[in-house]
Structure 1
Amino acid sequence: MSTLNTMDEASKLELLQGQAEIWKQTFSFANSMALKCAVELRIPDILHSQNRPLSLDEIASKINKSSSPNTSYLHRIMRLLVHNKIFTSTTTTSPDSGAGDGASITLYGPTAASRWLVRDSNELSLAPFLLMENHPLLLSPWHQFSACVRDGGNAFEMANGAEIWDLAAQNPKFNQLFNDGMACTAKITMHAILSEFGSKNNGFEGLESLVDVGGGIGQTIADFVKKYPQIKGINFDLPHVIATAPEHPGVSHVGGDMFKEIPSAQAVFMKWILHDWSDEECVKILKNCRNAIPEKNGKIFIVDVVLKPDDELFGTSRLAFDLVMIAHTRGMERTESEWKKLLEKGGFPRYKITDIPTFCSIIEAYPN
């Protein structure tokens, strides 16, 4: 920095831009915290339920009718969310505002982004996933990254004293938070699969049975059975997860361990399962999948991220999600070449990848 006075203007500008980038990255956590605040206060629900933009006072009155929310704090949080294009803002005049003729007032409205944060409807929503990922138990492992790089180990276990699956088994509230977060992403993914992949690729036509490995409370397989009534659905997960699963028509719940055995079916479906585990563990799971399906017409569907160069739409988020795997599991997101090697070792020499309009892709793999 002592040479700053000797730099030309272009070098000074480049250095200043570098400084600005570090400031931006340092406070990037504020974006997710502001989003969490908005979701907890149900601000997206408030704005999407109206047919017009609302003032700050109107939003505040709908947040809590029994108290007086701090509108100064709310204004500052909304200002960042507007800057990040989560909400819109317009300035107009309000002759009856009590501040004199021509007094300005800011009105806030929804966007396509805030639609994904609505909670009080049956629409697709990422709100439960946002709340899950920003829970203190899931944030604390991020502080263990340097220790993981230095010494190895499991970041989540370092921070919380147990692996994520064991903590969910021990803590009903955390288990519910986790299940809700997974269920909302499953709903979004299934909408893309059934409306795009299922309708255009006919990948599920003719299937007689399908087992959803790590299927949670069974909503995903229930959606399959509803769309394809000929399918016998099997929801397979750990016993403590199955214990909370409701009944679904045409679906049977099976508790067990995918590292030991997977229920037999014509096809296996896995959404966001293999990315949670190391290559060695994935090979074990894939071999169990191979044993669970028939030789001739069996196949597996893997719904996971496929990392790609020059991915403008989800690229940054997918790379960040790879770090989520360090924070929460022993897994990783993978490139196509990494998936190919994994599948071959697991007994699936043939595969094809289909992109769908969501965060993940579909990998169909065959035993011959």
Structure 2
Amino acid sequence: MMNCHHQKYFPIEKMSSQESGREKEIIELDEARLQGQAEIWRYMFSFADSMALKSAVELRIADIIHSHGVAITLSQIASCINGCLTSPDITTLARIMRLLVRRKIFTVHHPLDGGDPLYDLTHSSRWLLHDFEQTLAPMVLMENHPWLIAPWHCFSQCVKEGGIAFKKAHGREIWDLTSGNPEFNKLFNDGLASTSKVVTSAILSGYKQGLSSIESLVDVGGGIGGLISEIVKAYPHIKGVNFDLPHVILAAPAYNEISHVGGDMFHVIPNANAVIMKWVLHDWGDEDCIKILKNCRKAIPRENGKVIIVEVVVKAEGSGVFDDMGFIFDLLMIAHSSGGKERTEVEWKKILEEGGFSRYKIIDIPALPSIIEAYPDDQ
């Protein structure tokens, strides 16, 4: 007879939908916590991107690749680096370039024949070319210099005590350091000049309709006249006035059809059909901005006058290519200015209304700042 072994079968307990949901929640929570940890690591070391970028500018890597006209090897890049006391360290260069390729600052191509990798420029690295009219290379060097990085380390101190971050870091404000230190002054001026050219180009291409109807224009805080001279060159019918503090005007070169006027915007502004101010008001607190705007209103006609404000407009939910930079530039103002700030549209509206400009429109241009075109109130 055959022995029959009776096996007992235990039914597999099905997980309840409630338990399944809990397990899913735990997995999602673990993934979210891991993602959160990864983000903190990334932000903790985000300065590494800045430092790699700065080293590329100092070594003129973009310029070297551009001068060859084709993609080149690391050895070719290294052989063109100036100022080396010994032969360049290609291993260190390769590691810096690996990050910059990952960040899409440069590209790398691996030849099928197994030859050395070839590095080339991208749309980003073309902004690092030194000898081009449109370059951000001097700004990269300026903003990542230890002098300008130091105030960022004082933010928590500013929260606790108030005061000016730059002064906490250096014992004096930024303008005092520029006037007393020729090296810093050159670094600072070169950086600002490079961004000014980029923004000026964007104004000329993105605000044609606004400029073509103006007969006379005063650039308040115009420095040595770079912006107003380019506007008048593009629109020769405009009578241009460059207005700044007397000691600034003394250094301004002569331009055709441009009058240089020294003075103080807190006292009186020269008369014109329109006033333009580029990256001026963000240096000042609200009360000072209102004083400046009131003086602008006195300087222009009520009927067809306008003030052209070239500034960042911070957008809380903005998704445009420059919108993230608005928040960063606002912190930059904490680091480097003496009470300045970037503003949201609500904040701009408030100071414009109090300055006598309750009507305005915001015009996007192909650059970091926007144009706020403001029109004087009747009364």
- TM superposition score normalised by structure 1: 0.90
Q: Equivalent residue for 2:332?
A: 324
Superposition misfits of 4+ residues, deviation over 4 angstroms:
none
Q: Equivalent residue for 1:337?
A: 346
- C-alpha distance in 2, partners of 1:213/1:169? 21
1:1-150 to structure 2, matched below 5 A, reads 8-64=26-82, 67-92=86-111, 102=114, 104-122=115-133, 124-150=134-160
Secondary structure class of the residue paired with 1:49: helix
Aligned residues: 350
Deviation at 1:65, TM superposition (A): 7.6
* In the alignment, structure 1 residue 364 sits paired with structure 2 residue 369: no
Does structure 2 conserve the Cα–Cα contact (< 8 Å) formed by 1:93 and 1:105? Answer: no
1:166-225 Cα distance to aligned partner (Å, 9 max, x none): 322333332332222222222111212212211xxx212242321111212211110011
Deviation at 1:253, TM superposition (A): 2.3
Does structure 1 conserve the Cα–Cα contact (< 8 Å) formed by 2:318 and 2:324? Answer: no
Does structure 1 conserve the Cα–Cα contact (< 8 Å) formed by 2:200 and 2:230? Answer: yes
Deviation at 1:265, TM superposition (A): 2.1
Q: Equivalent residue for 2:319?
A: 311
Larger radius of gyration: 2
- C-alpha distance in 2, partners of 1:17/1:323? 26
1:115-157 Cα distance to aligned partner (Å, 9 max, x none): 11111233x1111222221122211110110011111111112
- C-alpha distance in 1, partners of 2:150/2:197? 27
State which of 275, 279, 282 in structure 2 corresponds to 1:275: 282
Q: Give the 3 Å change call, closer, same or farther, for CA 36–240 of structure 1 in structure 2.
A: farther
Q: Give the 3 Å change call, closer, same or farther, for CA 243–35 of structure 1 in structure 2.
A: farther
- C-alpha distance in 2, partners of 1:142/1:243? 33
Deviation at 1:314, TM superposition (A): 1.5
1:260-312 Cα distance to aligned partner (Å, 9 max, x none): 33222221111111111111111111112122223333211000111222324
Deviation at 1:93, TM superposition (A): 5.6
Does structure 2 conserve the Cα–Cα contact (< 8 Å) formed by 1:179 and 1:217? Answer: no
* In the alignment, structure 1 residue 161 sits paired with structure 2 residue 171: yes
- TM superposition score normalised by structure 2: 0.87
Q: Which amino acid aligns with 2:182?
A: P
- C-alpha distance in 1, partners of 2:222/2:200? 12
Gaps of 5+ in 1: 1-6, 95-101
Secondary structure class of the residue paired with 1:141: helix
User: How much identity, in percent, do the aligned residues show?
Assistant: 59
Q: Equivalent residue for 1:263?
A: 270
* In the alignment, structure 1 residue 174 sits paired with structure 2 residue 181: no
- C-alpha distance in 1, partners of 2:184/2:267? 26
1:193-232 to structure 2, matched below 5 A, reads 193-198=203-208, 202-232=209-239
Q: Equivalent residue for 1:355?
A: 364
Secondary structure class of the residue paired with 1:203: helix
Secondary structure class of the residue paired with 2:87: coil
Does structure 2 conserve the Cα–Cα contact (< 8 Å) formed by 1:356 and 1:362? Answer: yes
Q: Give the 3 Å change call, closer, same or farther, for CA 83–262 of structure 1 in structure 2.
A: same
- C-alpha distance in 1, partners of 2:279/2:322? 16
Deviation at 1:81, TM superposition (A): 0.6
Q: Give the 3 Å change call, closer, same or farther, for CA 149–342 of structure 1 in structure 2.
A: same
Greater alpha carbon shift after TM alignment, 8-17 vs 347-356:
8-17
* In the alignment, structure 1 residue 254 sits paired with structure 2 residue 261: yes
Secondary structure class of the residue paired with 2:334: helix
